[in-house]
Amino acid sequence: MTEACERVCRVMQRVANEEKIRSGGVFNCRKISGTNVWSQHAWGNALDLFPTESRFNDEIARAAVTQATKRTVANRGRKLELSNVIDHLNSRIWTPGTGWHDYSGSVGPHVHVQAAPIKTGTPACA
């Protein structure tokens, strides 16, 4: 796992509500579904959060964005460095420069929280 993603995991654990998040996953040596681009999961640079119920997906996504846009106690007064947050259930993506916009990738009940900086090239697992 990247150092940046370790921080993402620590901060999201501090704000996690166990009644709303069933599980999380970081490392997965694969390409982005439907593309030839390596997923940040192949470097351990993104965290997927799976809600206990689909209706919590939006709240989990917004909680991650709050950590990236506000100086929070959970991140010891800093903003969390994220390159994007994908609300896969509601087909929307948040990026630091543009905020929320439409996302056309895979759909399902989970939130993708991607650390910054992003990794490029070929991952060690390939």
Give me the residues that bind Zn ion (CB under 5 A), please. 46, 48, 112
In a 3-state reduction of DSSP, which class is residue 36? coil
Give the full edge-to-edge strand order of the sheet including 46-51.
21-25, 46-51, 111-115, 82-87, 92-95, 99-102
45 or 75: CB nearest Zn ion: 45
Residue found by looking up tokens 């620590």 in the block: 10
Least Cβ distance, residue 73 to Zn ion (angstroms) = 26
48 or 87: CB nearest Zn ion: 48
50 or 76: CB nearest Zn ion: 50
Least Cβ distance, residue 15 to Zn ion (angstroms) = 18
| Token reading at 97 | 């420069």
Is 98 within 8 Å of 21 (Cβ atoms)? no
Least Cβ distance, residue 71 to Zn ion (angstroms) = 25
112 or 119: CB nearest Zn ion: 112
Cβ neighbours for 107, distance < 8 A, ≥ 6 positions apart: 88, 89, 91
The conformation of residue 125, written as its DSSP 8-state character, comes to: T
Least Cβ distance, residue 79 to Zn ion (angstroms) = 21
